[in-house]
Amino acid sequence: MLSATISLKNSALESDLSGIHRSVMTMEVMNFLRPEEGGIYLDATAGMGGHCEAILQRNPSIRKLVAMDWDQDALDIARERLRAFGNKVRFYQANFKDMELVLAEESEKGFNGILMDLGLSSFQLDHSGRGFSFQRDEPLDMRMDRSITVMASDMVNNLPQERLEELIRLYGEERWAKKISRAIVERRRERPVLTTGELSEIVTSAIPRRFHPRKIHPATRTFQAIRIAINREFENLTQALEKAAQCLLPGGTLVVISFHSLEDRIVKHQLKKNGLLEVLTKKPVTPQPGEILSNPRARSAKLRAATRITT
């Protein structure tokens, strides 16, 4: 049985964090979901609860909102943020690939709408202390769910060079994967690579300075690749998209926001090939210039939507 209860750790901190977090493309999400009176909706990646709050404010007469996230710490913040909505909101700490178990736990036949925002939250990047960002020197963890036994440091310090190179090239689309993996192996012969600062320095030094990207940090793609591999993000996403089609009621809408080309490619392919879905977005919807200006983290967001066919 999945647990629908969670404990709060630091309400003051959680309140502060929920206040500064900005959910991406909220207006566009609402335009596709169109929350209806008496409907039941699932935010399968609730994070800090920003989109959940927007759904509830858009139509307070919905029957139920299920807030689901793999990250217990982020879900704690969401629960505090949504406290005013009372029992209308149900919380589950679970991976979105298991949404059919949540549906069964709630004794429902299906959802009128499902949202999947695949981006990292501001909390995970700036406050989790789990090494999702290279901006601070933190333990090299990167686990969305702390119950996962393998951390990023385990992968960096134990995988063969060829496997590291493969992961960095595949999941990070990094042209310098061979040099980076070789540099990691050379460093770990001296001492284990245990922090984000160490890994960032190794990657940055491995890429010739004249080839450093202009718009992103040199370590961005490597960090992305390791995070994806640790959390099995692409495998989980593929399964979650299949489950979402099955968990929607006829006429229900699925909205997915991705943040890099590999994710978007998976979403596009899975929506198109699923016989239960009719795609609503021929091309991905992108943020308005004003949103990108006020929230630079939204710049790479792409939204795709589909509806469950009624026949």
Tokens 């699923």 label which residue?
274
**What pLDDT, on a 0 to 100 scale, did the predictor assign at position 120?**
67
Look up the pTM and report it: 0.87
- In the predicted model, what is the mean pLDDT of the chain? 89
Q: Which superfamily, per CATH, for 11-124+233-308?
A: Vaccinia Virus protein VP39 (3.40.50.150)
Label residue 131 by pLDDT band (50, 70, 90).
low
Q: Which CATH class is domain 129-231?
A: mainly alpha
Q: What is the DSSP string of the chain?
A: --------S-HHHHHHHHHH---TTHHHHHHHH---TT-EEEETT-TTSHHHHHHHHH-TT-SEEEEEES-HHHHHHHHHHTGGGGGGEEEEES-GGGHHHHHHHTT-S-EEEEEEE-SPPHHHHHTS-SS--SSS--BS---SSTT-S--HHHHHHHS-HHHHHHHHHHHH--TTHHHHHHHHHHHHHHS---BHHHHHHHHHHHS-GGG--SSS-TTHHHHHHHHHHHHTHHHHHHHHHHHHHHHEEEEEEEEEEE-SHHHHHHHHHHHHH-TTEEES-SS-B---HHHHHH-GGGTT-EEEEEEE---
pLDDT tens profile 264-307? 999 999 999 999 999 999 999 999 999 999 988 888 899 999 99
pLDDT tens profile 137-191? 888 988 888 778 899 999 999 999 999 999 999 999 999 999 999 999 999 999 9
What are the sequence ranges of the domains in the chain? 11-124+233-308, 129-231
**What pLDDT, on a 0 to 100 scale, did the predictor assign at position 307?**
98
CA gap 25, 302 in Å, rounded: 9
